[in-house]
Chains A and B, each alone.
Chain A
């Protein structure tokens, strides 16, 4: 489902003329099979988010290739990647990334609007999805009027609404208390088993790492030998 080949990345800092290159990822290669949950762990600053941002297409790699669902995304232009993303990828962010001026309903509906789905179909699907995450009664609430756990469920509903085969999550439980964290992990497992959704999850939390069929540890921008289980 996801194939990473010899991926390297570095950040450029400083003004022109005085630029320094900071290598973050060095020659990363791994694969995520269809229906798999893979977790990536590592210390803060080890390059986990950078890796996920590369897979998400938010930044472009310096070297190497990324294949998702049979397509080579590492060379796609922005416009093409956008269309690819809405069809194939769902996102769960640590800080939810809901649009504050939109209600829960509107936030969940947004990907369907972007896909050009008709209004009637959108309403039905959105309501179903909100019911699935248990937030139908909260559909007219703005993100600011919801708890952290509820906001995360809205963001999951938004990720799921377009039926993506893959969900990418960067520290999905980072802003949640342990009880809501457990609920979320249960839900992820359900989605994986019931719908066969592939997950690539980044975390520094052992409990989260444990739901992965496999766990990859990053250290100093490289995959730590022997931890690839």
Chain B
């Protein structure tokens, strides 16, 4: 049964983002505008996982993220692993780590924040506290729990 292990079609070159918590795959696609580019993308949702119960997986062909880009995924999928694929082989594999800041991806939830109406990229400083991951807006200096961004659409 060769397809026993292979839940999503293999890619020749590109990046596989694995171990995404089930439900976050679509959000990641959307937040990082992965589907706006021209590369073929395969998404697997609610796949069975040994460690997570269910997981999502995203395969982006012909694209390699740099570590800074990949680490931004940690906000939504802190245990995600990045597999760099070349000629069907995994040539590099690492787990994402929480970055110090995230740029340009998220809009500030504070409606009175200047970043929502001026020609600037947003930026959030990231820290971990007892109540979870906290994002502090570079402009309005308001802090938001990371969960808030997961709920926004």
Chain A bound to chain B = no
Q: Which residues of A contact B (CB under 8 A)?
A: none
